[in-house]
Amino acid sequence: MSGGFFLTVDFEEFAHDLKRDLGLWETGPLRVDALWSGYERIARFLARHGDAKATFFCTGIIAERAPDLVGRIAADGHEVACHYFFHDEMDRSSAEDVSRFAARAKEALEDAAGTEVLGFRAPKFRIERRDPAQYRAIARLFRYDSSWYGASPEEARAFLRRMGVDALALFPVFAAPPFRGAPPLRLGGSYLKLFPLGVAERWIARAEAAGQAPIVYVHPYELATEGDFLLDLAELAPLGAARAAYWWLRQNQWHRAGNGGFEAKLSALARAHGLRGRLRDHLDAAVTLG
Cβ contact 56:69 at 8 Å: no
Min dist CB 247 to Zn ion, Å, is 17
Q: Give the residue nearest to Zn ion (CB).
A: 10
Residues that contact Zn ion, how many (by CB under 5 A): 3
Min dist CB 96 to Zn ion, Å, is 22
Q: For Zn ion, give the closer residue by CB, 87 or 143.
A: 87
Distance CA 170, CA 156 (A): 7
Residue 128 interacts with Zn ion (CB under 5 A)? no
Give the amino acid at 81.
A
Residue 79 interacts with Zn ion (CB under 5 A)? no
Min dist CB 51 to Zn ion, Å, is 26
Q: Which residues contact 32 (CB under 8 A, 6 or more apart)?
A: 65, 66, 69
Q: For Zn ion, give the closer residue by CB, 121 or 276.
A: 121
Min dist CB 31 to Zn ion, Å, is 15
- DSSP string of 64-112, one letter each residue: HH-HHHHHHHHHTTPEEEE--SSS--GGGS-HHHHHHHHHHHHHHHHHH
Q: For Zn ion, give the closer residue by CB, 123 or 277.
A: 123
Min dist CB 92 to Zn ion, Å, is 15
- Tell me which residue of 283, 248, 207, 273 sits closest to 50, measured CA to CA: 273
Q: For Zn ion, give the closer residue by CB, 170 or 244.
A: 170
Write the DSSP symbol of residue 61: H
Distance CA 287, CA 290 (A): 9
Show contacts with Zn ion in window 1-20 (CB under 5 A): 10, 12
Q: Which residues bind Zn ion (CB under 5 A)?
A: 10, 12, 123
